[in-house]
Amino acid sequence: MKFGIVTDLHYSTKESACTTRRPNKSLEKLKISLENMKEADLIVCLGDLVDDCGDESENLRCISDLMQVIRSCGKPFYCIPGNHDCTNFNKEYFYSLTGCPKLPYVLSGDTHDVIFIDACFAADGSEYRPGKVNWTDTDLDKVQMESLKSILDSDDKKPLAVMLHQCLDPNVEHRHLLHSAGLLREMLEKSGKVDTVIEGHYHPGADNVINGIHYLTLPAMCELDNIPFTVIDL
C-alpha cells in the first residue's frame, strides 16, 4: 500500500511567520503535492495542518479549505494532531473537522501494520487544548503507552511502522523530542517488530537509522518555497 505523506503545512492567512515560514502558501503547495502523489493509495498528514490566524472564523475557513482540497483527490485521509492544531481546536473537534479516526489507530498495509500515535500531551498526562499547549512539553499519555506496549508484545509477526507528529530521533534538536523518546526507542528496538518511524515537527527534516530502525523526519511544507512530500510502500 502506498502512503502519500506530508507534514507541517501550518496553513493560515499569515504571509510569514518565524522568519522562514510562509503559511499562506501551503494550500497551493498541498495541491501540487497531491498532483505528484497520484500513485498513493491514501494520504497522511503528520500534523500541524493549520496555524492560528488570530481569528476563530478564519481558522475554521483555513481547515475547511484544506479539507476541500484533500477530499477532492478521492483518497482516504489520515491526520495526526500537531501542537498547532491543538492550539486552535480541541481534539474531538479536530477529528470531526478532518473526518479522521481518533488516535491511537492501527492501519493494516500490504507489508506492515502502521500505528498512528498522538504525542500532544504534557509530561503530566494532561491533553493539549487551546490555551494549554507547550510544544516543548510533549509525551504519550498512559493509555497510549499501554496500547503501544500491547501491540509490540502481541504475537503478530507483521512488521510495524510508527507515525507521529513529534520526534523520537535523538539527532534532531532536542526540544522537538518526546520526554520518553529514549524509553520508546528502547521499546521499539526490544520488540524486534518496528523497522520504520515517520515523524514531522522538526522543520528541517532528518533521515537516520538507529539500531536497525529507520527514522524519517519529513521536512515542513510551510518553509519558504519547499514542497516536500514522500510516497512510501508499507
Mean per-residue pLDDT, 35-40: 97
Instruction: Please state whether the predicted TM-score (pTM) of the whole model is above 0.85.
Output: yes
Lowest mean pLDDT segment, chosen from 150-154, 168-172, 179-183, 213-217: 150-154
Give the span between the Cα atoms of 51 and 84, in whole angstroms.
6
Note the pLDDT tens digit of each residue in 186-211: 999 999 999 999 999 999 999 999 99
Note the pLDDT tens digit of each residue in 59-81: 999 999 999 999 999 999 999 99
Q: What is the pLDDT of residue 97?
A: 97
Residue with cell 534538536: 173
Residues 162, 5 contacting (CB under 8 angstroms) = no
- The CATH code for residues 2-233 is 3.60.21.10
Give the span between the Cα atoms of 203 and 166, in whole angstroms.
11
Q: What is the band of 156 on the pLDDT scale with cuts at 50, 70, 90? A: confident
Work out the mean pLDDT of the chain and round it to a whole number: 97
228: DSSP letter = -
pLDDT at 157 over 90: no
Query: Which H, E and C letters describe 62-82, residue by residue?
Result: HHHHHHHHHHHCCCCEEECCC
Q: What is the pLDDT of residue 152?
A: 94
